[in-house]
Amino acid sequence: MHGRIVRLALLVGMLFPIAAHADFDAAMQAYRAANYAAARVEFERLAGGGDLPSQLMLGSMYFYGRGVTRDDAKAAEWFARGAHSGDPSAQLAYGALFKDGHGVPIDVIEGYMWLTLAADPRNGDVYYNARRIREQLVATMTAEQIGEAERRAKAWQPEAKR
């Protein structure tokens, strides 16, 4: 059940603003045509330069095993890059991984923190999904854990794109 919730959140979290450049568009075309090998090569090139949507797509490819061997740890690495740079969709995906321990240790405080960052009303569908998953975490947390997660979220600052 929990795994299905994470996967749903990641799927909906894919509703990020599309990058306005031809290389990303070409990679997305390849991805939609199930030419995952070509998409991966282009996403990796773009993601290495700090392109947040490409980092999110690579994370998704590794999470779902599309064109690559499924690898939750690599998915977490790509989601983390975008999350640390301030991308709400990546924050949603990264936070959700901590709930069930997909590629990262189960950590309700860390998950709650990332989901809190993603749960900004300006983030559209990401906002609703982050709040829903965060509410599930709250049911398993102490008041002290929630307070610590909120303190971390308030103190958080984005890193330079990496």
From CA 56, how far away is CA 68, in angstroms rounded? 15
Confidence of residue 43 (pLDDT cuts 50, 70, 90): very high
- 8-state DSSP, 105: -
Q: CATH no. for residue 63? A: 1.25.40.10
The total number of structural domains in the chain stands at 1
Percent of the chain exceeding pLDDT 70 equals: 86
Within 10 angstroms of residue 136's Cβ, the number of other Cβ atoms is 15
Residue 69 placed within a domain: yes
Residue bearing the bigger pLDDT, 23 or 2: 23
Let me know if residue 160 belongs to a domain: no
37, 138, 153, 148: which is closest to 94 by C-alpha? 153
Query: Which of 100, 99, 117 lies closest to 109, judged by CA?
Result: 99
22-24-26 Cα angle (round to 5)? 65
In a domain, 37, yes or no: yes
Where does the pLDDT of residue 159 fall: very low under 50, low under 70, confident under 90, or very high at 90 and above? Answer: confident
Average pLDDT over residues 7-32: 67
* Residue 46 counted as domain residue: yes
- Provide the domain limits for residue 77: 2-155
The reply to whether 108 falls in a domain is: yes
Predicted TM-score (pTM) of this structure: 0.84
Residue 91's pLDDT is 97
In a domain, 162, yes or no: no
For residue 15, pLDDT over 50 is answered with no
pLDDT of amino acid 4: 47
Residue-wise burial string across 119-133, b where 16 or more C-beta atoms lie within 10 A, e elsewhere: beeebebbbebbeeb
Return the H-helix or E-strand segment holding 45.
Answer: helix 36-48
Contact (CB, 8 A) for 89 and 13: yes
Query: Is residue 161 domain-resident?
Result: no
How far apart are alpha carbons 84 and 161 in whole angstroms? 8
The DSSP H or E segment spanning 92 is helix 88-100
